[in-house]
Amino acid sequence: MIRVAFFDAKEYDINSFGRLEENPEVEFKFLETKLTEDTAELAKGFDAVCVFVNDTVNAAVIDRLCEYGVRLIALRCAGYNNVDVKSAHGRIRVVHVPAYSPYAVAEHAMALLLTSVRRIHKAYNRTRDFNFSLSGLTGFDLHGKTVGVIGTGKIGRIFIDICRGFGMKVIAYDAFPAKDSGIEYVSREELFAKSDIISLHCPLTDETRHMIGAEAIGRMKKGVVILNTSRGALIDAEALLEGIKARKVGAACLDVYEEEADIFFEDRSGHILNDELLSRLISMPNVIVTSHQAFLTEEALANIAETTVNNILACLAEEGGFCENELCYHCGEIEKCRQEKRRRCQDEGGKK
Ligand code: NAI
């Protein structure tokens, strides 16, 4: 029996993983707490930990996990910016769920965009109060507008297809443009200058951190709508607030926020929020915040549970087993190290 300590467990996780419980080879212990340096001890005696976006899996936590004999870190999400994969290399294996429903995230991005530009959030509250006035609800057509998509991977491309369905002109920037994709790639600067709407779908890396800051906002069109369903730290939130106050940014739709780790996913109503910046952003009439909800569909949860269990079995049912979703640092660059060879590239030579 493979024993897995499941950190930051929510009701919807317990439901979706619970449905797979007939699998006799993996047993989950659901823990409400997040994985941090202080809680790592709870992983003692387990073969693996299962973690999500706001668990801390830095070098210190990895040291503890190795000390306790934990052999696998199973991320039940795609992004892995919260894991020090370099520190884990050769000591503890790391797997993730690269795609569970890119449609869920792309559709949420469009839901946020439509809500914002057609003021649905305002109208919903008004009519509930029997206020049927249209004053201040004027929106704009998406048809004919230019959307700039940053990151044209699985989610970005689906979002592009959705936008094309609305009759929008699409331009894109990607550090690794997809060949023969029919996507019109431009430089980042050109994208900032030409887009009426900008949507972020690239990972958080040292290079992309704060890619939307004061300078980038300065290059954008007045009234630009910024969508972020990727990772909070892609945007310098202070610069965004300044852009909104200066009436340069027309609207912002944020499913993620740089400092979300201690705030999102929990009921904070009735508490005073200790984050001035987030409070200011939420108070703006043209900002919509959802709390990292873009992934949350039935289909995505079922896929996450299934892939996570398969990842765990691939790695641990047989010692050193191959797992196609392993984040391998062997070549020094995770993206480069995606093996298509059905075996672990560590097996091919010494460690680097
Ligand atoms: P993907 O790996 O399929 O695509 C990412 C794209 O970004 C690739 O085309 C890559 O070449 C590009 N990229 C890498 N570095 C770049 C750079 N410096 N500048 C511009 N583009 C760059 O990933 P996928 O599945 O499309 O996910 C995108 C992001 O969405 C993830 O990194 C994750 O952070 C976020 N996400 C958010 C969720 C939510 O619930 N809000 C759920 C799932 C993912």
Q: Which of 234, 243, 249 is nearest to 150 (CA)?
A: 234
Find out whether 19 and 302 touch, Cβ atoms under 8 Å.
yes
Please work out whether the CB of residue 201 comes within 6 Å of at least one atom of ligand 1. Answer: yes
Q: What is the model's pLDDT at position 346?
A: 60
Sheet of 26-30, strands arranged across = 26-30, 2-6, 48-51, 72-75, 93-95
Amino acid symbol at 202: C
Query: pLDDT tens digits for the chain (352 residues)?
Result: 999 999 999 999 999 998 776 677 999 999 999 999 999 999 999 999 999 999 999 999 999 999 999 999 999 998 899 999 999 999 999 999 998 999 999 999 999 999 999 999 999 999 999 999 999 999 999 999 999 999 999 999 999 999 999 999 999 999 999 999 999 999 999 999 999 999 999 999 999 999 999 999 999 999 999 999 999 999 999 999 999 999 999 999 999 999 998 899 889 999 999 999 999 999 999 999 999 999 999 999 999 999 999 999 999 998 888 899 999 776 666 655 554 555 566 655 433 3
Q: What is the model's pLDDT at position 344?
A: 63
Q: What is the model's pLDDT at position 162?
A: 98
Domain-by-domain residue ranges, the chain? 2-100+297-341, 102-289
Amino acid symbol at 258: E
Q: Which of the listed residues 83, 202, 208 should we mutate to test ligand 1's pocket, taking the one with most ligand atoms within 8 A of CB?
A: 202
Please state the atom number of ligand 1 nearest to the C-alpha of residue 295: 40
Q: Which of 231, 258, 326, 330 is catalytic?
A: 231
For the purposes of burial, counting CB atoms within 10 Å of the CB of 41, is it exposed (0-12), middle (13-18) or buried (19 or more)?
exposed
Q: Which of the listed residues 80, 105, 189 should we mutate to test ligand 1's pocket, taking the one with most ligand atoms within 8 A of CB?
A: 105
What residue owns the CA closest to ligand 1's atom 17?
175
Ligand 1 centroid distance, CA of 203 (Å) = 4
**Identical topology for domains 2-100+297-341 and 102-289:** yes
Please work out whether the CB of residue 29 comes within 6 Å of at least one atom of ligand 1. Answer: no
Please work out whether the CB of residue 155 comes within 6 Å of at least one atom of ligand 1. Answer: yes
Neighbours of 349 (CB within 10 A): 8
CA separation for the pair 88, 352 (Å, rounded): 13
Superfamily for 2-100+297-341? NAD(P)-binding Rossmann-like Domain (3.40.50.720)
Ligand 1 centroid distance, CA of 198 (Å) = 14
Please state the atom number of ligand 1 nearest to the C-alpha of residue 231: 34
Q: Which of 107, 258, 260, 326 is catalytic?
A: 260
Ligand 1 centroid distance, CA of 272 (Å) = 33
Separate counts of helices (H) and strands (E) for the chain? 11, 11
- Catalytic site residue 276? no
Q: What is the model's pLDDT at position 343?
A: 59
User: According to CATH, what is the number of the domain 102-289?
Assistant: 3.40.50.720
- Catalytic site residue 260? yes
- Catalytic site residue 292? yes
Q: Which of 93, 157, 292, 330 is catalytic?
A: 292
Please work out whether the CB of residue 203 comes within 6 Å of at least one atom of ligand 1. Answer: yes
Please work out whether the CB of residue 230 comes within 6 Å of at least one atom of ligand 1. Answer: yes
Contacts of 23 (CB under 8 A, 6+ apart): 309
Q: What is the model's pLDDT at position 19?
A: 79
Q: What is the model's pLDDT at position 333?
A: 64
Q: What is the model's pLDDT at position 352?
A: 33
Please state the atom number of ligand 1 nearest to the C-alpha of residue 208: 18
What are the E-state strand segments in 123-248? 146-150, 169-173, 197-200, 224-228
Ligand 1 centroid distance, CA of 123 (Å) = 32
Taking the complete model, does pTM exceed 0.85, yes or no? yes
